[in-house]
Amino acid sequence: MLIDRSMRQSGGPRSRNLTETVSTTLQRVAAGDKSAVRVFVVQYKSLLWSLARRYSPSRTEAEDAVQDVFVELWEKAARFDPSKASEKTFVVMIARRRLIDRLRKQGRQVPTVPLDASSEVTESDSDKLEKDETVRKAKNAMRTLPEAQQQVIKHSICGGLTHSQIAEKLRIPLGTVKTHARRGLIKLREAIQADTVMGSEVSA
């Protein structure tokens, strides 16, 4: 499967950083610390249950889905590299990957998020987001993107739309949507990595 192979092809961890002197919960899990499992589940069960409920058509399927997500996390725990992103962002990445994969296999559409309500980051939201360095960087980078790129990223990632659907919705050529999506995500990726000096995150 694509994802598994891509994980195998990924390079090893980047330069070790200061944050690694204090292991995250997921790193403790990867190191075989059984007590970290309970801590991890307690820490992320609300977020992951919320995502699973949103991405699943029924409560029963959400239960299956969240178990799939956690199994994936136990298996991929060693892949987490704090020099690339926060633990929470890694958890969200694995969860979205698994949940979207399940939907695709079932022939279902990725659920949409009402962008009118969620696309503007408020000050109170900001306080919460600032606590996560990776998300803070992404938020700052997002503000620097041209409006068209922001729209495409929003509709793609949160709106659950394919590039073709975005082209139709925004009434712009498909090629332009693809370019915006590609460039926008690359800029976000670069921004997330940009402040990393020898792997340690430095506030901008």
Partner 1 sequence: MTNHAHNHEERLLELLAEQAGAGLDVSQVEELDALIELAESGEDLEELELAAAAAYQVFDMQAEIELEPMPESLSEKLIAVGEAKIASKSDTADRAPALSFKKHQAQTSSGLHHPAWGWLAAAAVLAISVTAWLAMSVNQTPSGFASQRQQLLTQADDLIRSVWVESDDPVYGQVKGDVVWSDNKQQGYMRLVGMPVNDPDVQQYQLWIVDPDVDSHPVDGGVFDVNEDGEVIVPIDAKLHVNKPTVFAITVEKPGGVVVSAGPLRVVAPVKS
Measured distance CA(154)–CA(68) in Å, rounded: 26
| Residue 24 vs 85, nearer CB to partner 1 | 85
Minimal distance, residue 27 CB to partner 1, in Å: 13
Which residues on adjacent β-strands are paired with residue 152?
Answer: none
Using the 8-state DSSP alphabet, how is residue 110 labeled?
Answer: P
Minimal distance, residue 28 CB to partner 1, in Å: 10
Minimal distance, residue 36 CB to partner 1, in Å: 8
Using CB under 8 A as the binding rule, the residues of this chain from 103 to 122 that contact partner 1 are 103-104, 110, 113, 115, 117-119, 121
Using CB under 8 A as the binding rule, the residues of this chain from 41 to 100 that contact partner 1 are 41-42, 45-47, 49-51, 53-54, 60, 63-64, 66-68, 70-71, 74-75, 84-85, 88-90, 92-93, 96-97, 100
CA distance readout (Å), 5 to 9, 37, 88, 99, 179: 6, 26, 23, 18, 26
Q: Considering Cα of 134, then 139, then 143, then 147, what sign does the dihedral take?
A: positive
Among 25, 56, 65, 163, binds partner 1 (CB under 8 A): 163
User: One-letter amino acid identity for 104?
Assistant: R
Minimal distance, residue 48 CB to partner 1, in Å: 8
Measured distance CA(62)–CA(55) in Å, rounded: 8
Measured distance CA(106)–CA(98) in Å, rounded: 12
Minimal distance, residue 172 CB to partner 1, in Å: 15
Using CB under 8 A as the binding rule, the residues of this chain from 120 to 149 that contact partner 1 are 121, 125, 128-129, 132, 134-135, 137-139, 142
Among 21, 22, 34, 127, binds partner 1 (CB under 8 A): 34
> Residues near 164 by Cβ (< 8 Å), separated by ≥ 6?
174, 177
Using CB under 8 A as the binding rule, whether residue 22 contacts partner 1 is answered as no
Which residues on adjacent β-strands are paired with residue 200?
Answer: 197
Q: Is 17 exposed, middle or buried (0-12, 13-18, 19+ CB in 10 A)?
A: middle
| Residue 15 vs 67, nearer CB to partner 1 | 67
How many residues bind partner 1 (CB under 8 A)? The answer is 86
Length of the chain: 204
